[in-house]
Amino acid sequence: MSEALHELTIHAALDGMRRGDFNAVELTQALLDRIDQVDGQVKAYLTVTPELALAQAAAADARRAAGDDAPLLGVPLAIKDVLCTEGVRTTCGSRILENFVPPYTATAVQRLADAGMVMLGKTNTDEFAMGSSTENSGYFTTRNPWDLTRVPGGSSGGSGAAVSAQEALAALGTDTGGSVRLPASYCGVVGLKPSYGRVSRYGLVAYGSSLDQVGVLAKDVRDAALILGVMAGHDVHDSTSMPTPVPDYQAALTGDVRGLRVGLPDEYFIEGVQPEVEAAVRRAIDVLAEMGAEIVRISLPNTDKALPVYYLVATAEASANLSRFDGVRYGFSAGADSILENYRESRGQGFGAEVKRRIMLGTYALSAGYYDAYYLKAQQVRTLIKQDFERAFEQVDVIASPVAPTTAFRIGEKADDPLAMYLSDVFTITLNLAGMCGISVPCGFDNAGLPIGLQLMGPHLGEETVLRAAHAYEQATTWRSHWAQPEKAGVS
């Protein structure tokens, strides 16, 4: 083969295994060797599970020999470390869960396992998925494979970096305010955020329950569609999962966008966007137009309110969700004499600064004197943001925009300025507030050689259309053939 095994897409790897060119054990060993080669620099993984991976690969080979042809049979993947995995520690990037080993597996992960996935390990994340750079991990900062002095995005930065550095054929991430799409953009891979309720959240350690969604980071759109098709669907364990049939997402990848109406929102092309980012996104939109798509100018007028709304809703939900980490039932316990002191010491020592900041913001917003003025008002404005999208999708099929205002910034550059960090998500949080779907697909590089992502957004349960548009653009361009080389990475 012309490509090394770790360089393959999922669909190419499956074709190779079906032909007998190599088996799952050989493929998995190639990925483990790649992790050994580059992860000391990239730091994508919190936990690597080589023994488990090779055992699962051997089982996959036995299944294939017996005539099984499950959709992900023998495919080595990585899992963001906020998804529970039975028998494998799940830290959420936090010291408070450093030694936590779940007794069950998240539904999304279990469906991949049932389809034959090989799990390489658990990837680094901002603590409890709170961050845009993976600098908030309680363990270490993951580095961008294109430039090791820069962030990979967050909070699914470990998953984005693992796919970009070709340390996994794909990875699961989660997206509460852009945490799949931002690392995809910064790391030059595909990042798919499904609609709220499309994928079960059972076994996902909750941050913002009305915002969280399990997503995919992949090498190309076809791989993302394949994984979504496996893990999507109703789950009796998650009351928010949609009891609607799962389409054949791969069948939607026709390469044809003729007649597709693409909306350009005025509010997403604003002052402050890095010029190279805007230029690359506008060129991508021109490509879609040349392929027969109709470009329509639209407005999402409440976009400027999204950031404060998000950081009230998300932090309020985080305040409630993280109250369970009390030093009593599981996770780190300070072992103090009184129960109140044990609460205080366990949470004080176990949580990092950003998690404490968000808990305090959320607790304040939910407090008796401020609930109506802050949290309730935020929920009302959230409805207006959702209605903006619903009106827009009466006029267009997808909406195109940048993923982030800039390319990947330097490690430490925004660490002391939380607001500047929060602004990294300004183009992604609206989709989570509205519960709709979106994808980041590579569309170019800036002058420093850093990747740029095109965001395509769709209505609730509109993944087929979003994937169709993203795949057609991907096939019409060559960005998918560019890969980071962390083993040779210089610094810009």
Distance separating alpha carbons of residues 454 and 470, to the nearest angstrom: 9
Q: What is the pLDDT of residue 117?
A: 98
**What is the largest distance, in Å, between two alpha-carbon atoms of the chain?**
70
Residues 438 and 193: beta-carbon distance below 8 Å: yes
> Which segment of 150-164, 227-241, 358-372 scores lowest on mean pLDDT?
358-372
Across the range 347-357, mean pLDDT stands at 94
Using the predicted structure, report yes or no on whether residue 157 has a pLDDT greater than 90. Answer: yes
Q: What is the pLDDT of residue 419?
A: 83
Between residues 420 and 67, the one the model is more confident about = 67
Q: What is the pLDDT of residue 2?
A: 58
Using the predicted structure, report yes or no on whether residue 1 has a pLDDT greater than 50. Answer: no
Across the range 349-376, mean pLDDT stands at 93
Measured in degrees and rounded to the nearest 5, phi and psi for residue 86 equal -55, 125
Pair of tokens at residue 83: 């998804």
Tally helices (H) and strands (E) across the chain. 15, 11
The domain locations on the chain are: 5-301+386-481
Measured in degrees and rounded to the nearest 5, phi and psi for residue 488 equal -120, 5
Q: Which amino acid is at 307?
A: L
List 132, 159, 164, 179, catalytic entry: 179
- Tens digits of per-residue pLDDT, 281-324? 999 999 999 999 999 999 999 999 999 999 999 999 999 999 99
This prediction's pTM? 0.97
Across the range 455-473, mean pLDDT stands at 98
- Tens digits of per-residue pLDDT, 24-83? 999 999 999 999 999 999 999 999 999 999 999 999 999 999 999 999 999 999 999 999
Using the predicted structure, report yes or no on whether residue 490 has a pLDDT greater than 60. Answer: no
Q: Indicate the fold that domain 5-301+386-481 takes in CATH.
A: Amidase signature (AS) enzymes (3.90.1300)
Q: How far is CA 92 from the centre of its chain?
A: 14
Q: Which amino acid is at 155?
A: S
3 state SS of 7 = helix
Residue written as token pair 């959230």: 382
Residues 183 and 190: beta-carbon distance below 8 Å: no
Q: What is the pLDDT of residue 35?
A: 98
List 94, 133, 155, 346, catalytic entry: 155
Across the range 399-425, mean pLDDT stands at 93
Q: What is the pLDDT of residue 5?
A: 98
| Average pLDDT over all residues of the chain | 96
Using the predicted structure, report yes or no on whether residue 185 has a pLDDT greater than 50. Answer: yes
Using the predicted structure, report yes or no on whether residue 274 has a pLDDT greater than 70. Answer: yes
Using the predicted structure, report yes or no on whether residue 491 has a pLDDT greater than 70. Answer: no
Distance separating alpha carbons of residues 458 and 401, to the nearest angstrom: 12
Pair of tokens at residue 393: 């999708």
Using the predicted structure, report yes or no on whether residue 492 has a pLDDT greater than 50. Answer: no
Angle subtended by helix axes 353-366 and 306-321, to nearest 10: 100
Across the range 463-469, mean pLDDT stands at 98
Distance separating alpha carbons of residues 216 and 67, to the nearest angstrom: 28
Distance separating alpha carbons of residues 356 and 222, to the nearest angstrom: 39
Across the range 275-279, mean pLDDT stands at 98
Q: What is the pLDDT of residue 458?
A: 98
Distance separating alpha carbons of residues 79 and 133, to the nearest angstrom: 18
Indicate if 155 belongs to the active site: yes
> What percentage of the chain carries pLDDT values higher than 70?
99
Q: What is the pLDDT of residue 291?
A: 98
Taking only Cα atoms into account, the Rg of the chain, rounded to an integer number of angstroms, comes to 21
Across the range 229-237, mean pLDDT stands at 98
